[in-house]
Every structure is written in structure tokens, then in C-alpha cells.
Chains A and B, each alone.
Chain A
């Protein structure tokens, strides 16, 4: 298995532009998570889906952020309009509904820089 796939790996954009991050979870996994990581705040859960349905989006910072999961093999995280404070590494992770282990498998991340 290729693992969780994220694209792009790096994104540099200007303030005010729309940014779309993409994620392909591991086949067969039914939970998908979007995280943001910065030096100051560490790893923050933004939103997670179970069976393509958003379960908890309490970590989404504001209305400029939106996430979708149209099917079991694809999800997007969109920022519109982007701001310099959105600069961070964004991780996508997926997991199986497998009892207590709850192992999340992370992608390589997308490093976003907003100028």
C-alpha cells in the first residue's frame, strides 16, 4: 500500500488566494483526519470524517476553512482567502475502526507558505 497520499507537498501562495490541499487515505480506512502543525501551537486537529461524514469540525479555525470528503478515497481542505497566519504544515491521516488501537496513519504533509 502506498500509504496516505497528500498533494501538493509544498505550496507557496499570496495572501488572499484560494488554496486547496488534497488527501487520498489508505484504501479500506473509514476515518480521515486533517491536522495543522505549527511551532507555536503544535499539532491541532482541524476536522475528522467517519464514513465520509464530518463528525467533529470544532478545530476548524474560521469560515475561511472548509473540508470535504466526496468519497472514501479523496478529501480536500480549502482555505479561501488565505492569510499569512495560515502558514503551517497540514497533515492528513486515516485509520480503521479497529477498537482500542486507534492507530492513525499520517501522510507526508503539505507545507503551506502564505506570503
Chain B
């Protein structure tokens, strides 16, 4: 199973953009990149996912490097409610339901 590497923690000021990096140098061609976040005392929730192209939704943007060995989750304007642990996860299209979780990045706002 492909692994991801994220910083343990990051800090941001309110109303400022946040760029959360993720390295996945062993990614295979059929691996999707997923981001989830976990608010305090809650279960994780889906944020965004992508394969090769950059993606945008109402919560965030996902920027994927051309070689796909890294990606960045972008929160355009951080609020206090964005303080959470953010997980970058790879899943193989052939066994898409299994997600392998790391320890994530703890974001303080």
C-alpha cells in the first residue's frame, strides 16, 4: 500500500490561506489522492479527492504535482472551524474502498 508523508502540525491565522502539503513518492498510476479532516471529538469527514488534475469544491482546492508525487490541500480562508487534523490518503482504483490512514497534519488556527 502506497504511503503518504505529512508534517505533524501547522499553524495559520484566521482569514489567511493555508497550504497543507503531502508527499506520496510511491504513488502508482491508478492511485487516487483523498483528503479527509477530523474535527475534535468527531469522526473524519471527506474534504476532496483527485487523480491528476487540480480540483476545487466548496470546502477546498487540491493541487496535484505534475509527477503526482506530491499534492497540496488549499484552504482559501482559514476560520476557527477549520482547526482539525487533515489526512492525505491514497487509494487504489482496483480496491477503492480501502483507505490507509497516516497520522495527518494537526492544523491550529
Contact surface of A with B, Cβ cutoff 8 Å = 4, 31, 33, 35, 42-45, 48, 50, 55-56, 91, 93, 95, 99-109
The 4 residue pairs across chains A and B that have the minimum distance between CB atoms: A106-B43, A43-B101, A103-B46, A42-B103
Q: Given the complex, which residues of A lie within 8 Å of B101, measured CB to CB?
A: 35, 42-45
CB distance from A32 to the nearest CB of B (A): 10
A107 touches B43 (CB 8 A): yes
B96 touches A106 (CB 8 A): no
Q: Given the complex, which residues of A lie within 8 Å of B49, measured CB to CB?
A: 100-102
Kindly report which residue of chain B lies nearest to residue A41, judged by CB atoms.
B103
B97's contact among A31, A91, A108, by CB below 8 Å, is which? A31
A95 touches B43 (CB 8 A): no
Kindly report which residue of chain A lies nearest to residue B102, judged by CB atoms.
A42
Number of A-B contacts defined by CB within 8 Å: 56
B43 touches A102 (CB 8 A): no
Q: Given the complex, which residues of A lie within 8 Å of B97, measured CB to CB?
A: 31, 33, 48, 50, 55, 95, 102
Q: Given the complex, which residues of B lie within 8 Å of A109, measured CB to CB?
A: 42-43
Q: Given the complex, which residues of A lie within 8 Å of B98, measured CB to CB?
A: 45, 48, 56
The answer to whether residues A104 and B96 also contact, given A42-B102, A42-B103, A43-B101 and a CB cut-off of 8 A, is: no
B99 CB-CB contact with A under 8 Å? yes
CB distance from B31 to the nearest CB of A (A): 11
